[in-house]
Chains A and B, each alone.
Chain A
Amino acid sequence: MDLNKKDMKEMKKADSSKDKSKEKSKASTKKIAIILSLLILVIGLGAGLSLYIMNREATDGSYAYIYQNNELIKVVDLTNVKEDYEFRIDSEDGGYNIVKVTTDGSIGIIEASCPDHVCMNTGFIRNGLVPITCLPNELVIEVKNSKEDSNLEYDGVAQ
């Protein structure tokens, strides 16, 4: 079967449009690859950054975790405390504890409604050796990730 000029022209036209669409799809694949690369780079950097922050906290930071009724209610940064400060924690049944944070990175309870004052007797803590516990008000303060802890060789402390 012979092809006439018109048909040939149309075929050429179709070929060139195929080429153009091929080029277009090549360009869009490249674009997707770049976007994906950037996306993974961002994820990678993000993960790296969060890992860096976590490690930095584990070695340099010192934080007091305050629990009430077995639930974490507050995290206090004990690093670079510019001035001593106090805050009050109220319990559901009307009890309270006044917590003091000092410039040397210690935390302690200085006033409490509990009758035994075991929490106040514990004194100020700056490492994870001993938590402060106020049983009547169901309050626990634990220090984690302190510089001193990172040097500690103990897995637990008998008391």
Chain B
Amino acid sequence: MLLVLLVFAMNLTACTNTKTSSSSATESASLSELHFDTIMSISLYGSDKAALTEIINEAYDEVDRLESIFSAQLETSELYSINQGIAKGQTSFVISKELTEVIDYALKVNEESNGALDITIGNLINLWGIGTDHEKLPTDDEIAAALVGTGCEYISLDKETNTLTVSSENVQLDLGAIAKGYAADLVKELILAKDSSVVGLLDFGGNIMTIGSKPDGSNWKVGITDPLDSTSVYGGVSVSDLCVVTSGNYERYFEENGVRYHHILDAASGYPADKGIISSSIIGASSIECDALSTACYCLGVEDALALINSLDGVECVLIDNDGNYYTSDGIGDYNFTKAE
């Protein structure tokens, strides 16, 4: 009798700490923190809860380090100091390896997308101030002035020497469209270097990165926010060891005279992108690639965005237009996209 009761009590206590799983990932740890001006969550599954918690803390240290390089707002960041230098007429900068990699990637996608992703329009972003205390609807003249001397043709990169050359004082670099994606790639690498058996899910302000499959071996189900009702899910995809990144008009915006002005600015017009897409989601292995392409596709419109994604290997997309209709790239079937009811 004593033995039965003892076993019963022990089982109950154990159930509160241990997840049922068919794999070795029987423990989990999860932590949310504010970084990169957004909320981030890291959830990991493995065999040792204390070790998982330690890895998560190290992951957030890495996020902090990367923020101190890429933030356009932090006055102590490397990017802030470069932008200050450009405004004062400095043309050549020896930059960190990380900044070289991200700018190099941005230039590549700028070319692929015919200029849809442009990291040189910091002045235009500041002029609109969307999501800040000085957000306003600028005049056409102000917008035209902010676009003068901007464009990726004004910057060049020597990857051998990590040297950035800028030939226009009006260039202000803003890496908001890709830095979080790069951070997710690096954090995933760090986690797997610490323990290659760990699986999990990183949510970097809505950029989802999955590590391996779910603890039970099945695929992760990742939802895509409904742009017409951002507290609901529009549909979902089924992925393993991939990321899903969405750009939408509901993230940061202000409204004036019944018009919504969102934060994804079209470098060609100087206004919030308005080519008919209100949500653009990219699925692929590299988070920086998905992050860059989601912004580029948003600015391109349905037809050009589908053409771009279909021309690239290893990435797929789900685009949603103003009326709530969706369009998918040719290979989306691999990820079993299903529209929510």
Contact = CB atoms under 8 A, between A and B. Distances in A.
B9 A44 contact: yes
Contacts of A142: 32
A121 B38 contact: no
B276 interface: no
A116 B251 CA distance: 12
A146 to B, nearest CB: 12
B214 A47 contact: no
B280 to A, nearest CB: 10
A136 to B, nearest CB: 8
Contacts of B34: 70, 133, 135, 138, 140
Contacts of B32: 67, 70, 140, 142
Contacts of A140: 32, 34, 39
A81 interface: no
A92 interface: no
B33 A70 contact: yes
Given A157-B224, A158-B222, A116 B252 contact: yes
B206 interface: yes
A125 interface: yes
Interface in A117-159: 117-118, 121-127, 129-131, 133, 135, 138, 140, 142, 153-159
Contacts of B12: 44, 47-48, 51
A51 to B, nearest CB: 6
Contacts of A138: 34
B200 to A, nearest CB: 10
A159 B206 contact: yes
Contacts of B134: 115
A155 B214 contact: yes
A80 interface: no
B9 A158 contact: no
A50 B14 CA distance: 12
Among B130, B203, B223, B254, which residue has the most Cβ atoms of chain A within 10 A? B223
B224 A135 contact: no
B85 interface: no
Among A47, A154, A155, which residue has the most Cβ atoms of chain B within 10 A? A155
Interface stretch (B90-98, B147-155, B240-248): B240-248
Nearest to B281: A158
A97 to B, nearest CB: 14
B223 A121 contact: no
B207 interface: yes
B193 interface: no
B230 A130 contact: yes
A99 to B, nearest CB: 16
A73 interface: no
Interface in B199-249: 201, 203, 205-208, 210, 214, 220-225, 230-233, 236, 244-246, 248
B1 interface: yes
Contacts of A47: 9, 12-13, 16
Interface stretch (A1-9, A20-28, A33-41): A33-41
A48 B223 CA distance: 35
Contacts of B223: 129, 154, 156-158
Given A47-B9, A157-B208, A158-B206, A133 B39 contact: yes
B133 interface: yes
A40 B6 contact: yes
B201 A125 contact: no
B2 A157 contact: no
Contacts of A125: 231
A14 interface: no
A113 to B, nearest CB: 10
Given A116-B254, A153-B221, A159-B248, 20 more contacts: A37-B2, A40-B9, A44-B9, A51-B12, A70-B33, A118-B131, A121-B253, A122-B231, A123-B230, A123-B231, A131-B39, A133-B34, A140-B34, A154-B221, A154-B233, A155-B222, A156-B201, A157-B224, A158-B225, A158-B244
